[in-house]
Amino acid sequence: MYPDIVMEHFMHPRNVGKIKNPTSVGEFENEARAKAVFYVVVEDGVVTDIKYQVAGCPFAIAVCSLISEYAKTKRVEELKVFSMDDVKRFFEIPEDKEDCIKLSINAFLNAIIPLT
């Protein structure tokens, strides 16, 4: 059974797509061949737009959606330490889904960290 917030973001993902001229792009692919890509626009150190593309399980899709909503209007310096603990604020993470969630987090951080 999936947590309600995961089902909501899986069935109705936010900010899906690609940004034409992003400030930064980050991607990550795991051994299972799942892949996530984040496109980020930053102005004056603040995320003003964010989109993503993901091919993965419902948890990977939902976490990309959650991250995209969470990151908008936040400072890059604050986001560079985003981790599994931040995701745990939204829902309990099943042990067998940690790799799916790490896929989303790593792609996001690969877009954010070069900006710091």
Type of residue at 69: E
**Are the C-beta atoms of 37 and 52 separated by less than 8 Å?**
yes
CATH code assigned to 4-115 = 3.90.1010.10
The answer to whether 84 touches 93, Cβ cutoff 8 Å, is yes
pLDDT digits (tens, 9 = 90+) for 26-58: 999 998 889 999 999 999 999 999 999 999 999
Judged on CB neighbours under 10 Å (0-12, 13-18, 19+), 92 is: exposed
103 contacts 56 by C-beta, under 8 angstroms: yes
Task: Give the pLDDT confidence of 60-79 residue by residue, as tens digits.
Answer: 999 999 999 999 999 999 99
Q: Are 94 and 6 in contact (CB under 8 A)?
A: no
Record the pTM: 0.96
